[in-house]
Chain A
Amino acid sequence: MRGSGIRASTGAALLGALIVWVALLGPLIALLAHLTPGAVVSALRQPGAFQPLVVSVLASLIALAVILLLGTPLAYLLARGRLPFPRLWEVGVILPLLTPPLVIGLLLIFMVGPNTAIGVALGHLNLSASDTFLALVVAEVYEAVPYYVLGAAAAFAGVEPELEEAATLLGDGRWRTWRRVTVPLAAPGLATALAITWARAMGAFGAVLIIAYHPFGLPMQIWVTLQETGLSSALPFALVLLLVALPLPVAAYLWSARARRRL
């Protein structure tokens, strides 16, 4: 009796898990079901069809580099508790995550728009953070940075400080310890954080819509095509976005899982 009860509950749990899994993959299945190869080829043969893809990839790569450069030290200091008032820093990191992307876009206008101090300073350098490529990078950074900092902080927190101390005692300086111990041990977590950040940057839309309508990246191209010519014309670009945005996170996730098992 007891054995059959356990089997029934295991079966129910499996069924529930299957329903959730199928539901999560549902949109992807629907996309593939509604697209024909001919529609994809025809959409991509239009003049300038690849321009949004190039813009999105370039902007996301730059955003990723900025986030990596500025977010990594912050994530490490957060993980090691070396910042004064750590909760305050955490709130600062989480805030862009909790704020709706459209609101982030609106607020960015007041921060980096043409009539702000930063906007004027950029103007002196012949730059603008409104409806430009730079604006697209800024919007992507704001939408994606919390994902990286929180993920990287968790990865660094998983590296035992005793191991860094051991490296120091064996003669390594800080930078060498970081390179030989901290980063290799945090690498699986960092890879996951970076992959999610890449996906968020590639798909950034809310803040982009407000401050970087031009030049079109892929999400904006999908939106504009949807508005102008309808769902069926937008779907090929949605597929391209998925094909470009997803392989890196999926590969990083698989590598990260394998690397964790080896440690």
Chain B
Amino acid sequence: MLVLVADFEVARREFPVRLAVQAEAGERLAILGPSGAGKTTCLEAMAGLLPLSAGRISLEGRQLSRAAEPGSDVRAGHRGVGLLRQRPGLFPHLTVLENICYPPGASPARARQTASRMGLDGLLDVRPRGLSGGEAQRVALCRTLQTDARLLCLDEPFSSLDSALGIELLELVRRELVEVSAVLVTHQLGEAQAFADRVIVLARGQVLQVAGPRELVLRPNSARVAEMVGYRGFLRCGSQVLAIHPERVHALGRQDGAGGISARVVKVRPEGGRVDAEVEAEGEWIGRFHCRFDEAPELGSTLLFGAPDAPQFSGAEALLD
């Protein structure tokens, strides 16, 4: 069942931000893009903090915002949309439990249950300044869950934490959200992949691609998206440009042959019990591969590499990006 139907534009000074997306109950989406792409703007529009310049947003059949009728917008906090930001925004004059019970109508018993599931039992009487970054975000999440939000917007909430803790907290969010849809904004592909069922790639206010986390890396639809999901080498093949992902190349051998990419070894260094080598082709750094000490290539030597299913883009399109 479709829960979120959003097709809107928000006017900004630099460029308008446009988003068209639908989500089913319990579906997790991620908006991936560089800083300034308009990711946070999308979430703020959904949360009711920004007016739309075009389009509309509805949640569970209820119209939240409609550019044609700005006066009818449901105000922030009453839309069934929760927003969790990078700064947890805990109230410093209240204890953890008082923070969690802050939303009007929140039940202390239910708040304690949620807090317990999130491992906050021993912190309920503590004030926020005594919390670590991860604990503060867990409290903020717990507090947002007391609002009975039907859509949870996550604005890079864990980006200031170390990445392992960030991924752990995203898994916690996934566990806690039952039948609640969520949209995560992030500039880290790993976070988007760990969290989302579908990833929306956004750049300069435009959606470039919507795809599953695996499909996005295997089949980026443009050189720009390929670059954003980690492709580093862009090699000319006639009128086409071949995109090489550094973690998807493998050495074929030292001899010339058809079907491989001829590349020069530009760096060789020991890495634990193996050798780490980096290679360039046509002046483009295309990747890194590992081999045993006794198979280590010589610096400057030319090897053949395979890059199976490397996506190709028209040269003009790739240069345009």
Find chain A residues with CB under 8 A from B87 CB: 162
A189 to B: closest C-beta gap in Å: 13
User: Can you list 18 residue pairs at the A/B interface with Cβ under 8 Å?
Assistant: A163-B89, A165-B49, A165-B89, A166-B89, A166-B91, A168-B76, A169-B47, A169-B49, A170-B103, A170-B144, A171-B105, A172-B104, A180-B102, A185-B92, A262-B127, A263-B92, A263-B93, A263-B129
B46 to A: closest C-beta gap in Å: 11
B positions within 8 Å CB-CB of A: 47, 49, 76-78, 82-83, 85, 87, 89, 91-93, 102-105, 127, 129, 143-144, 147
Q: Given the complex of chains A and B, what is the CA–CA distance between A171 and B78 in angstroms?
A: 6
Pick from A165, A170, A181, A184 the residue with the most CB of B within 10 Å.
A170
Write the A172-184 contact mask toward B (1 if CB under 8 angstroms, else 0): 1000100011001
Q: Given the complex of chains A and B, what is the CA–CA distance between A172 and B87 in angstroms?
A: 19
Q: Looking at the complex, which one of B82, B91, B144 makes contact with A163 (CB distance below 8 Å)?
A: B91
CB-based nearest B residue for A181: B91
A179 to B: closest C-beta gap in Å: 12
CB-based nearest A residue for B81: A169
Find chain A residues with CB under 8 A from B85 CB: 162
Find chain B residues with CB under 8 A from A134 CB: none
A positions within 8 Å CB-CB of B: 162-163, 165-172, 176, 180-181, 184-185, 262-263
Q: Given the complex of chains A and B, what is the CA–CA distance between A197 and B86 in angstroms?
A: 39
B164 to A: closest C-beta gap in Å: 27
Q: Are B77 and A172 in contact (CB under 8 A)?
A: yes
Q: Given the complex of chains A and B, what is the CA–CA distance between A104 and B87 in angstroms?
A: 47
Q: Looking at the complex, which one of A165, A169, A180 makes contact with B82 (CB distance below 8 Å)?
A: A169
Q: Looking at the complex, which one of B49, B92, B93, B143 makes contact with A170 (CB distance below 8 Å)?
A: B143
Find chain B residues with CB under 8 A from A262 CB: 93, 127
Q: Are A168 and B77 in contact (CB under 8 A)?
A: yes
Q: Given the complex of chains A and B, what is the CA–CA distance between A176 and B144 in angstroms?
A: 18
Find chain B residues with CB under 8 A from A170 CB: 77, 102-104, 143-144, 147
Find chain B residues with CB under 8 A from A166 CB: 89, 91
Q: Looking at the complex, which one of A163, A169, A185, A263 makes contact with B77 (CB distance below 8 Å)?
A: A169
Find chain B residues with CB under 8 A from A176 CB: 104
Q: Given the complex of chains A and B, what is the CA–CA distance between A166 and B100 in angstroms?
A: 12
Find chain B residues with CB under 8 A from A171 CB: 77-78, 103-105, 147
Find chain B residues with CB under 8 A from A165 CB: 49, 89
Q: Given the complex of chains A and B, what is the CA–CA distance between A117 and B319 in angstroms?
A: 75
Pick from A166, A168, A181, A263 the residue with the most CB of B within 10 Å.
A166
Q: Given the complex of chains A and B, what is the CA–CA distance between A159 and B129 in angstroms?
A: 15
Q: Given the complex of chains A and B, what is the CA–CA distance between A166 and B157 in angstroms?
A: 14
Q: Given the complex of chains A and B, what is the CA–CA distance between A171 and B103 in angstroms?
A: 6
Q: A165-B49, A169-B82, A169-B83 are in contact. Are A185 and B104 (CB under 8 A)?
A: no
Find chain A residues with CB under 8 A from B93 CB: 184-185, 262-263
Q: Given the complex of chains A and B, what is the CA–CA distance between A167 and B85 in angstroms?
A: 13
Q: Given the complex of chains A and B, what is the CA–CA distance between A162 and B77 in angstroms?
A: 14
Find chain B residues with CB under 8 A from A163 CB: 89, 91
Pick from B82, B85, B87, B91 the residue with the most CB of A within 10 Å.
B91
A257 to B: closest C-beta gap in Å: 15
A156 to B: closest C-beta gap in Å: 15
